[in-house]
Amino acid sequence: MSKLHVTTTINGEPTEFLCDARETMLDVLRDRLGLTGTKEGCGSGDCGACSITVDGRLVCACLMFGAEAEGSQIGTIEGLAEGEKLHPLQKRFIELAALQCGICTPGFLVAAKALLDRNKNPTETEVRYWLAGNLCRCTGYDKIIRAVMDVAAELRGATR
């Protein structure tokens, strides 16, 4: 079986990998590149645990072939913090206890950042619908929604 050679950018770093034609981006990230922060909950695009961004667009890595990453800018949870400084969303998730077991957390953070990149001032309803593709079984979403709303307000204050 000959493999495909893919050239892409992951979290700002130029990256090359070989993958099978039928291999998902999720498997490439986890099994070939060791980026296991992106999680698999279902493999069918229903839980959002594998949320990544592709050229700024929010995508379930389990629904994308690795070969489709050719020439793209990929963003994963491992690229959210800047150096040793956590992203405000990461910081607020910890402070507000917006995670319990933590398996869904990387997906929620990537999805929430994608929201705030588009919409600086989302309503609670907008946050709830944007994050409706991410399943959390522990928290009842309450503290997650509060953390995202809080950070949105914080970032608006900072840019003003």
Partner 1 sequence: MSSQHYKWIGTRPNRPDGADKVTGRARFGADFNMPGQLVGKVLRSPHAHARIKSIDTSKAEALHGVKAVVTAKDFPEQPNQIVPAGEMQANLRDVTRNVMAREKALYDGHAVAAVAATTSEIASEALALIKVDYEVLPHVIDVDDAMKDGAPILHDHLRTDGLTPPSDKPTNIAKRLEFVKGDIAAGLAKADVVIEREYKTAAVHQGYIEPHATLASATEDGQVQVWSTTQGHFQVRGFCSRLLNIETSQIRVTATEIGGGFGGKTVVYLEPVAIRLSQKSGKPVKMVMERSEVFRASGPTSGGTLRVKIGATRDGRIVAADTTIALQSGAFPGSPVGPACMCSFACYDIDNIKVIGFDVVSNRPKVAAYRAPGAPIAAWAVESTIDLVAEALRMDPIDLRLKNAARKGTKTHYGPTFNTIGMVETLEAAKNSPHYKTPVKPGHARGVAAGFWFNVGADSSAAAHVGEDGTVTVISGNPDIGGSRASLALMAAETLGVDYDKVRPVIADTSSIGFNFVTGGSRVTFATGLAVVNAVRDMIENLKGRAAKIWEVEPDAVIWENGYAKPASSNVGKFEPLSLAQLAAQAGKTGGPINGHAQLNAQGAGPGFGVHIVDLSVDRDTGIVTVERYTAAQDVGTAIHPSYVEGQLQGGVAQGVGWALNEEYIYDAKGRLQNAGFLDYRMPVASDLPMIETVLVEVPNPSHPYGVRGVGEVPIVPPMAAIGNAIARATEVRMLDLPMSPPRLSAALDAMAPKRAAE
Interacting residue ranges for partner 1, rule: CB under 8 A: 20, 30, 35-44, 46-47, 49, 76-78, 80-81, 86, 90-91, 93-97, 99-106, 109, 125, 127-129, 131-146
Contact between 4 and 69 under an 8 Å Cβ cutoff? The reply is: no
Tokens 């890595």 — which residue? 61
Query: In this structure, which long-range contacts are made by residues 1-5, counting pairs with CB atoms below 8 Å and at least 24 apart in sequence?
Result: 4/66, 4/67
Distance, in Å, from the CA atom of 146 to the CA atom of 133, rounded to the nearest integer, reads 17
Beta carbon nearer to partner 1, 77 or 152 = 77
Beta carbon nearer to partner 1, 71 or 115 = 115
Minimum distance between the CB of residue 103 and partner 1, rounded to whole angstroms? Answer: 3
- Tell me which DSSP letter residue 16 carries: E
**What does the DSSP assignment read for 70-85?**
TT-EEE-GGGTSBTTB
Beta carbon nearer to partner 1, 38 or 71 = 38
Beta carbon nearer to partner 1, 25 or 145 = 145
